[in-house]
Chains A and B, each alone.
Chain A
């Protein structure tokens, strides 16, 4: 029994790693295509049918590129920083139920690596640790602009951790558990039982904070593209930079799963339709990340801080207080 559980967990980890590494690559393909169509361009078309093999071409390029470690950098930290980003992104996935449990060859599979009773706390904590990737990478790079970007990224991350935590406090009070599976079962009674109806404010706040946590466009201050350089990733090349990239895209997928499960009913009653529903919701949230990137401008760092501390945090606190009063 112990051995079987061990093997099952290893297999699950490998499958999740493989699927989401591949999804991160395919995610870049979809991002390019969606952005291109929204800007009346074609996007990648030349490599493979509809440019689908562009992902493979990019992978080959990243893997075979020279691994440059510039002079004056703090070598070990410089090398470990991208690994932290990618690793924490995948570690956070351990507590996410990706699909309802199903039976495979007479063996019941739970598509969650570890159903721990502090699931959300664990995910938020690990995502918080993910901050060390950009921070250490920027600090070790021996580059002023990397350092600036890292400092800005740290400020954004830490500020929006507050929003994330406070906004899901109210749903946690309602459900009475931190496990994502309990959240799912709380909402398994169909669309009307989704938490988004009873906690719309928390949903919006968490969604906004998700953009900051993943560093996507309205809050794209961490790797600031419009400064031409790539923020904390300026000095990185080849697969080290690729690991930052995989981490970012895996984070986008995982945060989409978390939002769908927390607020939009997850996989519902666990039927096949429910599983498809979960994937559909995740696809929508992922698409929304790309959509906003095409439509919205970035905000300034001071506006971002203003939004966080003067607007979103008071709203989150008021939301918790009102929820508490209603629950009494």
Chain B
């Protein structure tokens, strides 16, 4: 429906045809001599356009339809794909970290703001030992979220990341979804790059594990 309208709009570009969407704007001829100039001045002076402008602003004042968002108290909703400060997601099945320490995000990061270090833990599994993102360097391009094979690092909606210095680091634990959130089942999936199917989280079954 929507696409049809767009196609129709862009398909009909013939300016000359009478039935096209395009039409010539009516511009009055420029005055050729002094008398015509004078007539234009008189016409413009007495046409009352100044009062139209006055009425428009007065109408808006009376209507009092204020559009201000009082920012710290009120916030605009942002899109689900908004690329703000990163988050580290957990698995729905077992509540463990999704990150497998592959290091692709560090490799692809074009502003070199991600540093990752891994080690082999006591169970002989690869474990992330150090992980940091320098938000002062990050340009929020989204490559790290796009390249992540496990949908572990994603962007979140937290855009209030002003800091008192340029180097403003986030560590793995800062970004990781808290366990409380997982237990409440309220981890929000990122809908941007390579996201899983919508409502996939409702279909997965929990692994029977006791913490």
Residues of A bordering B, CB below 8 Å: 34, 37-42, 45, 291-292, 294-296, 311
- In the complex, A40→B60 CA distance in Å? 7
Report whether A37 and B67 are in contact in the complex, using a CB–CB cutoff of 8 Å.
no
User: Which 10 residue pairs across A and B have the least CB separation, nearest first?
Assistant: A38-B57, A295-B53, A42-B68, A294-B57, A37-B61, A295-B57, A40-B67, A295-B54, A38-B61, A41-B68
B202 interfacial by beta-carbon distance below 8 Å: no
B64 interfacial by beta-carbon distance below 8 Å: yes
Q: Taking the nearest CB of chain B, how far is it from the CB of A305, in angstroms?
A: 15
Q: Taking the nearest CB of chain B, how far is it from the CB of A311, in angstroms?
A: 8
Report whether A296 and B67 are in contact in the complex, using a CB–CB cutoff of 8 Å.
no
- In the complex, A210→B54 CA distance in Å? 18
B100 interfacial by beta-carbon distance below 8 Å: no
B65 interfacial by beta-carbon distance below 8 Å: yes
- In the complex, A144→B101 CA distance in Å? 61
Q: Taking the nearest CB of chain B, how far is it from the CB of A30, in angstroms?
A: 12
Evaluate whether A292 and B54 lie within 8 angstroms (CB atoms) in the complex, with A40-B65, A40-B66 already known.
yes
Residues of B bordering A, CB below 8 Å: 41, 50, 53-54, 56-58, 60-61, 64-68, 70
Report whether B67 and A45 are in contact in the complex, using a CB–CB cutoff of 8 Å.
no
Report whether A42 and B70 are in contact in the complex, using a CB–CB cutoff of 8 Å.
yes
B60 surroundings in chain A (CB, below 8 A): 37-40
Report whether A296 and B50 are in contact in the complex, using a CB–CB cutoff of 8 Å.
yes
- In the complex, A197→B48 CA distance in Å? 21
Chain A, interface SS category:
helix
A45 surroundings in chain B (CB, below 8 A): 70
Can you list 16 A-B pairs, Cβ within 8 angstroms, ordered by A? A37-B60, A37-B64, A37-B66, A39-B57, A39-B60, A40-B68, A41-B68, A42-B66, A45-B70, A291-B54, A291-B57, A291-B58, A295-B50, A295-B53, A296-B53, A296-B54
- In the complex, A292→B51 CA distance in Å? 10
- In the complex, A294→B56 CA distance in Å? 10
Q: Whose C-beta in chain B lies nearest to the C-beta of A293? A: B57
A291 surroundings in chain B (CB, below 8 A): 54, 57-58
Q: Taking the nearest CB of chain B, how far is it from the CB of A279, in angstroms?
A: 21
B41 surroundings in chain A (CB, below 8 A): 311
Q: Whose C-beta in chain A lies nearest to the C-beta of B68? A: A42
- In the complex, A71→B68 CA distance in Å? 42
13 new A-B contacts, CB < 8 A, other than A45-B70, A311-B41, are A37-B66, A38-B57, A38-B60, A38-B61, A39-B57, A39-B60, A40-B67, A42-B70, A291-B54, A291-B58, A295-B53, A296-B50, A296-B53
Q: Taking the nearest CB of chain A, how far is it from the CB of B108, in angstroms?
A: 41
Q: Taking the nearest CB of chain B, how far is it from the CB of A126, in angstroms?
A: 30
B53 surroundings in chain A (CB, below 8 A): 295-296
B68 surroundings in chain A (CB, below 8 A): 40-42
Evaluate whether A38 and B58 lie within 8 angstroms (CB atoms) in the complex, with A295-B53, A296-B53 already known.
yes
A295 surroundings in chain B (CB, below 8 A): 50, 53-54, 56-57
Report whether B56 and A34 are in contact in the complex, using a CB–CB cutoff of 8 Å.
no
Q: Whose C-beta in chain B lies nearest to the C-beta of A288? A: B54
Q: Whose C-beta in chain B lies nearest to the C-beta of A33? A: B61
Report whether B56 and A41 are in contact in the complex, using a CB–CB cutoff of 8 Å.
no
- In the complex, A113→B210 CA distance in Å? 90
Interface centre among B54, B57, B60, B66 (most CB of A within 10 A): B57
Q: Taking the nearest CB of chain B, how far is it from the CB of A162, in angstroms?
A: 20
Q: Whose C-beta in chain A lies nearest to the C-beta of B65? A: A40
Q: Whose C-beta in chain A lies nearest to the C-beta of B49? A: A296
- In the complex, A45→B56 CA distance in Å? 24
- In the complex, A252→B152 CA distance in Å? 64
Q: Whose C-beta in chain A lies nearest to the C-beta of B56? A: A295
- In the complex, A41→B65 CA distance in Å? 9
- In the complex, A295→B66 CA distance in Å? 17
Q: Whose C-beta in chain A lies nearest to the C-beta of B54? A: A295
- In the complex, A40→B50 CA distance in Å? 20
A37 surroundings in chain B (CB, below 8 A): 60-61, 64, 66
A311 surroundings in chain B (CB, below 8 A): 41
B66 surroundings in chain A (CB, below 8 A): 37, 40-42
B58 surroundings in chain A (CB, below 8 A): 38, 291
